[in-house]
Amino acid sequence: MQAVELLKRRAAEAAVKHVEPGMVVGIGAGSTALKALECISERLAQGTLSDIVGVPCSEQVAADAQRLGIPLTTLESHPCIDLTIDGADEVDPQLRVIKGGGGALLREKIVAQASAREIIIVDARKLSPQLGMQWSLPVEAISFGLRAHVEFVAGLGAKAQVRTGPGGCPFRTDSGNLILDCSFGPIDDPESIAAALEGRAGIVEHGLFLDLVTDLIVASPAGIEHRTR
């Protein structure tokens, strides 16, 4: 576990090198993105970085950023983001990713779409030859018509489970919605699955991030690899 944490830190350090003074920076959710937040905080404290503002992708990220002394802003004030640093649950060779393991997929995608550059940082365990081989696809949905949502996803070839939180209660996103963890197995055509989900009323968002990632930074025992699309 210590080795994995070190790899996450190295990936974060490599990504934060692309943050320059005066930038608006999107801050993703998750344990690897938190490493990037810590690196930004350290550079601000050292004086090697200044005059940046962050756009957090979740309430927890906002709290972490405030704790670390990182100035925050909103998309209302800064609708165009210079770059976002975020993690991922699974990445395929085309730089398509599954996100949403932490439940922040809706806000993460909003921030990603507002970003000129989307840098995903992972350790090598997150690489996969095909999406869905390692991770279920999170789908955010409203509670009204829940059974219909579950049956719709089943019709697409997945088994959907409502994500639960502490005590077995349904997990709620920052927007008050539910998460369906949808087990498709290997996804042959992510674009078709994405289009079907986007066309369904009551489904708010899905965790397929397609044509959004510009940079992928992978940390492995062999070193840092930087891929671009």
Are 186 and 133 in contact by the 8 Å Cβ rule? The answer is yes
Choose the catalytic residue: 5, 13, 90, 108. 108
Are 193 and 184 in contact by the 8 Å Cβ rule? The answer is yes
Contacts of 160 (CB under 8 A, 6+ apart): 139, 149, 150, 153, 154, 180, 181, 182, 183
Burial degree of 196 (CB within 10 A; 0-12, 13-18, 19+): middle
**42 counts as catalytic:** no
Are 46 and 77 in contact by the 8 Å Cβ rule? The answer is no
Hey, what amino acid is at 8?
A: K
Paired sense of beta strands 24-27 and 53-56, if any: parallel
For residue 110, the surrounding DSSP H or E stretch is helix 105-113
Q: Which residues are catalytic?
A: 108
